[in-house]
C-alpha cells in the first residue's frame, strides 16, 4: 500500500480584499496535484514561495479540506477519515511556534506526549529514544528559550514523532537554521527515513533535496512541473553547462541582456550577503565567458567558475520554463503581487476575513500558546500505535 496518494488535489482560498468596497478574490493555491509516495520513501516538494507546498501538506495532514480531488494516507481518505489519518502522521512546520520556551525540552516532550495520548508507561522510554535520535540527549533539562534555532527544530521533530507516526511531514525544516545545524538536521531526517518512516519534506534548498530525497516534485503556481529522482531532473539540463559569477549589483536589466545572448539558456541571481551569485546556464560547448562578462560591463565582478549542472540548475530551468509557459498561455493569472508576501507570513495576513475559516491550522493566532490546537493523533485507544508498546 502506498504511504501517500494525492490525486488531482486542488485548493482555492477565497478572501476579501478592499475595505470600503470589499471584493471576493480567489487564489488557486493548488491546482490538480497528483503524486504518490511509497512507504519509507523520502519525498521532497520543491518550489518557490507561494508555490502551494504548505497548502498541499495541510491537505494531506487534514488541516485543510481539499476544494476537490482526493488524498489518502496509508489508504485512509483525508477528507472522509481524518481521525485514522492523524493516527498515522506527524508534522513539523518551520518557524518558532509550537514549543513552550520556559520549559525544558524534557517537559515539552512530556507535555506533548500526554497531549498525544502516549501511554504513561511508555513515555519515558520514547522520550529518551527521541532525544537520542535528534541529538539532544544531555541538553534535555535546559530551557528551550536558550536553544538555538537548529536545536529547536530538532526538538520539533522529536515532538512530531512522539506517537510513532508512519509518515512525517516536514515543512521547510531548515529555514533560518545555520549551515552546521542544518547538516545535523539533515542527518536526523536521513536517520528517520532509514528507520522506515516515510518523510514528505518541503524545502527551497536544492542541495538539501539533492542529498536527502529519493524523489522530488518541483511545484510552481500550484502545479507539479517535474517529478523524479534528483538524478533524472538533473539529466534534463545535462546538455548544459553553468557559469557561476560572483557579482555586485546585477539588476533585472542586466539579466535580460544576458538572457538574450545566443547560447544562453537562462540566468538567475541570488543574493548572498553583500555579494550576488549570478548563474548563467549555457549550451554545453558554447564559450560564453566573454559575451557574458561583456554584458556585465560596469558591474563589479568577483570569481568566475564554470561547472556541471546541479539540482539547483535543473530547478531553475524548470521554474523558468513554467513561468514562460504561464506567461505565454493560459490568459490572465491572478496576481499575488499585493499578496501577503513571502512564506508563511499570511499568518499576520488578511485579518479576520474568511480565509482562516478552515479551522485549526497552525496559522491561527492565539495567545502565547503552542499550536496545540492540533488535535494530536487520536485519543488513547486499543488501535493506537503508542499503546502497543511493552514497557521496560
Ligand X SMILES: Nc1ncnc2c1ncn2[C@@H]1O[C@H](COP(=O)(O)OP(=O)(O)O)[C@@H](O)[C@H]1O
Binding residues vs Mg ion (CB under 5 A): 53-54
264 binds, among ligand X, Mg ion, none (CB under 5 to 8 A by kind): none
3-state SS string for the chain: CCCEEEEEEEEEEEEEECCCCCEEEEEEEEEEEEEEECCCCEEEEECCCCCCHHHHHHHHCCCCCCCEEEEEECCEECCCCHHHHHHHEEEEECCCCCCCCCCEHHHHHHHHHHHCCCCHHHHHHHHHHHHHHCCCCCCCCCEHHHCCHHHHHHHHHHHHHCCCCCEEEEECCCCCCCHHHHHHHHHHHHHHHHCCCEEEEEECCHHHHHHHCCEEEEEECCEEEEEECHHHHHHCCCCEEEEEEEEECCCHHHHHHHHCCCCEEEEEEEEECCEEEEEEEEECCCCCHHHHHHHCCCCEEEEEEEECCCHHHHHHHHHHHHHHHHHHCCCCCCCCCCCCCCCCHHHHCCCCCHHHCCCCCCCCCCCCCCCCCCCCCCCCCCCCHHHHCCCC
**Which region among 52-60, 126-134, 152-160, 254-262 touches ligand X (by CB under 6 A)?**
52-60
d(CA 328, CA 122): 58
Give the residue nearest to Mg ion (CB). 54
173 near ligand X (CB under 6 A): no
355 binds, among ligand X, Mg ion, none (CB under 5 to 8 A by kind): ligand X
Distance of closest approach, residue 84 Cβ to Mg ion, in angstroms: 26
134 binds, among Mg ion, ligand X, none (CB under 5 to 8 A by kind): none
Tell me if 171 sits within 8 A of 203, measured CB to CB: no
Distance of closest approach, residue 70 Cβ to ligand X, in angstroms: 19
d(CA 151, CA 172): 15
Residue 232: other Cβ atoms inside 10 A: 13
Residue 54 or 279: the one with the smaller Cβ distance to Mg ion is: 54
Q: Interaction with ligand X in 340-379: which residues (CB under 6 A)?
A: 340, 346, 355
152 near ligand X (CB under 6 A): no
Residue 55 or 62: the one with the smaller Cβ distance to ligand X is: 55
Q: Interaction with ligand X in 6-25: which residues (CB under 6 A)?
A: 13, 15
339 binds, among Mg ion, ligand X, none (CB under 5 to 8 A by kind): ligand X
Residue 117 or 339: the one with the smaller Cβ distance to ligand X is: 339
Residue 63 or 243: the one with the smaller Cβ distance to ligand X is: 63
d(CA 290, CA 288): 5
282 binds, among Mg ion, ligand X, none (CB under 5 to 8 A by kind): none
Distance of closest approach, residue 173 Cβ to Mg ion, in angstroms: 12
176 near ligand X (CB under 6 A): no
44 binds, among Mg ion, ligand X, none (CB under 5 to 8 A by kind): none
d(CA 76, CA 86): 10
Residue 86 or 204: the one with the smaller Cβ distance to ligand X is: 204
Residue 40 or 340: the one with the smaller Cβ distance to ligand X is: 340
**Which region among 45-53, 173-181, 247-255, 268-276 touches ligand X (by CB under 6 A)?**
45-53
Distance of closest approach, residue 96 Cβ to Mg ion, in angstroms: 15
Q: Interaction with ligand X in 83-142: which residues (CB under 6 A)?
A: none
Residue 140 or 171: the one with the smaller Cβ distance to ligand X is: 171
Residue 43 or 116: the one with the smaller Cβ distance to ligand X is: 43
221 near ligand X (CB under 6 A): no
Residue 112 or 374: the one with the smaller Cβ distance to ligand X is: 374
Sites of contact with ligand X (CB under 6 A):
13, 15, 27, 29, 47, 49-55, 336, 339-340, 346, 355
Amino acid at each position: 500500500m502506498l504511504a501517500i496518494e494525492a490525486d488531482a488535489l486542488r485548493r482555492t482560498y477565497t478572501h476579501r480584499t478592499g475595505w470600503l468596497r470589499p471584493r471576493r478574490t480567489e487564489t488557486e493555491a493548488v491546482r490538480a496535484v497528483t503524486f504518490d509516495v511509497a512507504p519509507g520513501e523520502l519525498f521532497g516538494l520543491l518550489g518557490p514561495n507561494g508555490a502551494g507546498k504548505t497548502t498541499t501538506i495541510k491537505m494531506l495532514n487534514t488541516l485543510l479540506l481539499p476544494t476537490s480531488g482526493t488524498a489518502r494516507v496509508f489508504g485512509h481518505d483525508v477528507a472522509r477519515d481524518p481521525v485514522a489519518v492523524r493516527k498515522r502522521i506527524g508534522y513539523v512546520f518551520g518557524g518558532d511556534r509550537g514549543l513552550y520556551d520556559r520549559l525544558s525540552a524534557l517537559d515539552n516532550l512530556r507535555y506533548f506526549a500526554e497531549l498525544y495520548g502516549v501511554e504513561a508507561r511508555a513515555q519515558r522510554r520514547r522520550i529518551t529514544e527521541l532525544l537520542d535520535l535528534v541529538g539532544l540527549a544531555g541538553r534535555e533539562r535546559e530551557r528551550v528559550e536558550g536553544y538555538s534555532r537548529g536545536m529547536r527544530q530538532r526538538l520539533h521533530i522529536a515532538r512530531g514523532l512522539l506517537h510513532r507516526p508512519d509518515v512525517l511531514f516536514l515543512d521547510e525544516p531548515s529555514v533560518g537554521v545555520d549551515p552546521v545545524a542544518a547538516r545535523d538536521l539533515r542527518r536526523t531526517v536521513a536517520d528517520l527515513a532509514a528507520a522506515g518512516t516515510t518523510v514528505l519534506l518541503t524545502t527551497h534548498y536544492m542541495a538539501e533535496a539533492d542529498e536527502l530525497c529519493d524523489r522530488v516534485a518541483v511545484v510552481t503556481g500550484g502545479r507539479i512541473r517535474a517529478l523524479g529522482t534528483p538524478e533524472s531532473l538533473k539529466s534534463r539540463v545535462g546538455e548544459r553547462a553553468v557559469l557561476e559569477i560572483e557579482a555586485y549589483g546585477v539588476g533585472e536589466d542586466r539579466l535580460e541582456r544576458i538572457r538574450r545572448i545566443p547560447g544562453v539558456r537562462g540566468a538567475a541571481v541570488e543574493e548572498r550577503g553583500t555579494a550576488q551569485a549570478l548563474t548563467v546556464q549555457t549550451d554545453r560547448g558554447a564559450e560564453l565567458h566573454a559575451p557574458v562578462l561583456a554584458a556585465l560591463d560596469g558591474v563589479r565582478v568577483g570569481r568566475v567558475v564554470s561547472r556541471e549542472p546541479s539540482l539547483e540548475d535543473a530547478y531553475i530551468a524548470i521554474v523558468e520554463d513554467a513561468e514562460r509557459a504561464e506567461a505565454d498561455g493560459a490568459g490572465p493569472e491572478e496576481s499575488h503581487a499585493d499578496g501577503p508576501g513571502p512564506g508563511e507570513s499570511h499568518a499576520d495576513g488578511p485579518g479576520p476575513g474568511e480565509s482562516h475559516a478552515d479551522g485549526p491550522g497552525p496559522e491561527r493566532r492565539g495567545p502565547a500558546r503552542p499550536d496545540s490546537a492540533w488535535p494530536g493523533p487520536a485519543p488513547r485507544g486499543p488501535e493506537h500505535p503508542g499503546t502497543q508498546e511493552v514497557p521496560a
